[in-house]
Copies of this chain bind each other. A is one copy, B any other.
């Protein structure tokens, strides 16, 4: 039996393009002892993958040309040679970028009972949601009633950050890159103040939306968003450094914020993190987030591309602002 998968054709330079990706057709073996075969239902594209397309040392090793990419996916077991996995079980794995796979069960997680459509386990109830949760509550040490600003606020992580902050009775500001996204933030997602970062000075918006300053800035974007936020923090403010999507396609290092010294007098904390630093929170996160999503306190937004042939375009869309909420590729 054959199946399709995606590999790099070339390493992207600057903004990735469709021709950087290639579709491979591969033989799908039957599962050996202790292995399972899984048909993927959907896969995730995430900004952090851009870093792995560059040939350099990072916290995850680089992708290789011609080798199938990896990333989050949700699938259903189609054949099982392992006692713990039954046909039809939903599983989460890093075997994304392929329609199906056969593999040993190590690193494949059974989802058990799922309370909403599987794709949300790539988004609000998956890695981006957990990133928002750990980043805001642990790294950002958010307290009830504080004022929070999140950039990339209409994205997979940002949209959840803002909604968790609302649950914690905080004042929430968010920025995004289009009028539609801003309307979503202010409307359905319940942000207190939302703005288009193309529209005037970021700092001016922060002053208007948070006259008394920011306690937490959740940084998904880096660059001028970070610099403006530093300028507007309150004493002992916290800045979880989660991403720097503005810079991921840079071909030259970009200068950092010119006002880091402000952090001294104000006692600010800037702290980088990735979700795997907080694995011990996984069960608590899933339980909280499933309750919030089914209870309507968190709205899990998605942008869906169909078919593995569009996986590359879905990924590129992350950097052109094509997604609202979580970007997923659906295989069914």
Contact = CB atoms under 8 A, between A and B. Distances in A.
Interface of A: 58-60, 222, 226-227, 241-244, 247, 253-274, 277
Contact of A241 (B58, B255, B263): B263
Nearest to A255: B255
A220 B257 CA distance: 18
B265 A270 contact: no
B59 A266 contact: yes
A256 B257 CA distance: 5
A161 to B, nearest CB: 15
A265 B272 contact: yes
B267 A271 contact: yes
Contacts of A59: 264-266
Given A263-B271, A267-B277, 17 more contacts: A59-B266, A222-B260, A241-B260, A241-B263, A241-B264, A243-B264, A244-B261, A253-B258, A255-B256, A255-B258, A256-B257, A256-B259, A262-B272, A264-B273, A269-B270, A269-B272, A271-B271
Contacts of A262: 272
Contact of A263 (B255, B259, B272): B272
Copies in the complex: 2
A60 B266 CA distance: 11
Contact of A267 (B226, B261, B274): B274
A266 B272 contact: yes
With a 10 A CB-CB cut-off, give which of A259, A260, A270 has the most chain B CB atoms. Answer: A260
Contacts of A241: 260-261, 263-264
A218 to B, nearest CB: 13
Given A270-B271, A271-B270, A258 B256 contact: yes
A258 B222 CA distance: 11
11 contacts: A58-B265, A222-B260, A226-B260, A256-B256, A256-B258, A256-B259, A261-B272, A264-B272, A264-B274, A267-B274, A269-B269
Given A255-B255, A260-B241, A273 B267 contact: yes
A4 B262 CA distance: 34
A269 B268 CA distance: 10
